[in-house]
């Protein structure tokens, strides 16, 4: 089972890029269904990432980044590089997807995906708004095309 999860906030322009790619992939799979591929929009809910990833062999996470790199830069990173245990907190909103990777592995052990890949696209604009900047839209199109290839390879497997 391959699970793809889009994360981000659609109300903050480029921060919504992971969710937008996930929604496009959901539309693609509605036309080309496969029982071994699931796509979720988890928004900013880290807890959702834990539960939606459970039982998958492979997990792909999509999100925006804000590292000071060139806007639109695409980073493809092994999930193990980004896992981080959360700080003690009483607020579930503080549980991000990077925390979810570490927590999910601790909670679900072998029922949590071992193979995790994270696609990050460097944001140009995180102000309030509903549109991706043109450079981030182009990067989103590239990541979408790469994931269609990944999906098609999984369809043949």
Q: Cα–chain-centroid distance for residue 134? A: 20
Residue 14: CB partners within 8 Å, gap ≥ 6?
64, 121, 123, 124, 125, 126, 132, 133, 136
**Residue 99 or residue 108, greater confidence:** 108
Kindly report which listed range (32-36, 43-47, 86-90) carries the lowest average pLDDT score.
86-90
Residue 107: both structure tokens together = 């909670």
Phi and psi at 6, nearest 5°, equal: -95, 130
Angle, CA of 40, 44 and 48, to the nearest 5°: 50
d(CA 68, CA 120): 13
CB 103 within 8 A of CB 47: no
Render pLDDT for 36-67 as a digit per residue (tens, 0 to 9): 999 999 887 777 788 888 899 999 999 999 99
DSSP state of 31: H
Phi and psi at 4, nearest 5°, equal: -120, 130
**Residue 96 or residue 122, greater confidence:** 122
Q: Give the global pTM.
A: 0.89
pLDDT, position 143: 98
CB 74 within 8 A of CB 142: yes
* Residue whose entry in the numeric block shows the structure tokens 């245990």: 85
């Amino acid at each position: 089972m391959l699970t793809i999860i889009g994360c981000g906030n659609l109300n903050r322009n480029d921060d919504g890029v992971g969710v937008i790619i996930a929604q496009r992939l959901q539309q693609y799979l509605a036309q080309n269904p496969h029982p071994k591929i699931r796509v979720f929009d988890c928004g900013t809910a880290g807890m959702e990432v834990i539960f939606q990833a459970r039982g998958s062999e492979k997990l792909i996470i999509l999100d925006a980044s804000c590292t000071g790199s060139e806007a639109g830069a695409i980073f493809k990173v092994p999930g193990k590089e980004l896992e981080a245990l959360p700080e003690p907190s009483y607020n579930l909103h503080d549980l991000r997807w990077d925390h979810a990777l570490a927590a999910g592995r601790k909670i679900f052990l072998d029922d949590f995906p071992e193979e995790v890949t994270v696609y990050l696209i460097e944001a140009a604009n995180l102000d309030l708004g509903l549109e991706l900047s043109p450079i981030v839209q182009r990067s989103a199109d590239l990541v979408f095309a790469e994931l269609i290839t990944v999906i098609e390879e999984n369809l043949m497997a």
